[in-house]
Amino acid sequence: MRASILSALILLIAACSASPTNPAVADPAPGLPPSVLRACDLIAQIAARAKGVTIKRSTGPFADEFESRTRSGCSVSLVGSTKALGTSPNPIEELRQEFTTRGWQEDVNHSADGPDGTTFAYVHAGVICVFRGQWDGGDDSDPTFKPDDEYTGAGHCAANPPRLLAELAR
């Protein structure tokens, strides 16, 4: 009797374990720290407040153009309509405000703004999130030009270990 209970328990544990032979129960982002995944959860939560926005999540590598390197982490991309937003704030700017309010520090080395988009980054507790937003800023030289209604954005988060003093000395 004990042997059959032990066998059943072993089978139950094996069925619930993530393994190559049981891909149905796998870690959604193997190797990513929980703090990185929580940061992407926060991005998705904030972006979901916007009217008319479509959100997609993924994990894997992304380009950090400001540091000329590839980071591995999670990403949240969004596509929306400025008309659907109405008087509501753009979710990309909402991300900037919310991360500041929650105690994240802006990394000014990852900052660029222009008439058609913005890039900025925030760091907190060993995590960096790099944000990009793009939209059609119009044509100041042509008052009849109608800009495209669509905007896109993305937040990419990864572990951000502290830099070594030797790196900073270079």
Domain that holds residue 106: 34-162
Q: pLDDT tens digits for 37-61?
A: 999 999 999 999 999 899 999 999 9
Q: pLDDT tens digits for 97-107?
A: 999 999 999 99
**4 lies in a domain?**
no
Instruction: State how far the Cα of 117 lies from the Cα of 133, in Å rounded to an integer.
Output: 5
**18 lies in a domain?**
no
**3 lies in a domain?**
no
Q: What pTM was computed for the model?
A: 0.74
Domain count, the chain: 1
**14 lies in a domain?**
no
**7 lies in a domain?**
no
Residue among 78, 56, 60 nearest 131 (CA): 78
**21 lies in a domain?**
no
Task: Answer for the pair 16, 25: CB distance below 8 angstroms, yes or no.
Answer: yes
**93 lies in a domain?**
yes
Q: pLDDT tens digits for 83-125?
A: 898 888 889 889 999 999 999 999 999 999 888 889 999 999 9
Mean pLDDT of the chain: 80
